[in-house]
Amino acid sequence: MTYQIINAIVVQSDAELSAGQAHGMATGMLCANERTQSAEWLTELFRDGTPVTEAEQTLLVHLFEETRSLLACDDFEFALLLPDDDEALLSEQVEALTGWCQGFLLGVGFTHAASDLSREATEILKDIAEFTKLDTEAEGEEDESDFMEITEYMRSAVLLLRSELNNKGER
């Protein structure tokens, strides 16, 4: 599912979010509680926006369920929903990444109390909070390399957080 399609849906609803923020929120909610339902996400997503059409809602629910599936998959297939490098400037990708991180933190916050996190999980969340402050005026090979490193770190960090937050009751 492309970033542009989801972004068009979210932006047209005046939700004051981007596709990256919306996907980050869904991912955060699912990391904090793998039983989170798409309806909870849609409620948070469009709290201040206008409702979307049934077809658009179906696409969003598909994105949510696909995210749930990829997070649970052992094949490390989960990826952040960001603009493709052939469709967007690096600065636009970095801006989408900062929004994704903001959405992720919101999603975790909606679903999980931070008081019982391990030190490692707390550090990861601090890192993600720092990524919301990235300089979006990125260009050049070094910035592109940094962007790739951060997105790979985020993929691993999200899976680690999901594992910790969803296994609290099993310890």
Residue whose tokens read 């206008």: 50
Task: Kindly list the structural domains of the chain, giving each domain's residue range(s) and its CATH number in brackets, ordered by start.
Answer: 3-170 (1.20.120.740)
- The 10 Å CB-count burial string (b at 16+, else e) for 6-34 is bbebbeebebebbbbbbbbbbbbbbbbbe
d(CA 52, CA 12): 9
Instruction: Give me the pLDDT at residue 27, please.
Output: 96
Q: What is the pLDDT of residue 168?
A: 55
Q: How many residues does the chain have?
A: 171
| Contact status, residue 82 vs residue 96, Cβ threshold 8 Å | yes
pLDDT, residue 51, reads 79
| The predicted structure's pLDDT at residue 70 | 94
Terminal Cα-to-Cα distance of the chain (whole angstroms): 36
Q: According to the model, what pLDDT value does residue 31 have?
A: 93
pLDDT score of 171: 37
The continuous run of DSSP H or E covering 11 comes out as: helix 3-12
pLDDT given at position 100: 97
Q: What is the per-residue pLDDT for 47?
A: 84
pLDDT value at position 114?
A: 61
- Helix, strand, coil % over all residues of the chain, rounded to 5: 70, 0, 30
Q: Which stretches in the chain have pLDDT values below 50?
A: 169-171
Residue 133 to residues 43, 85, 126, 130, 155, Cα–Cα distance (Å): 27, 21, 11, 5, 18
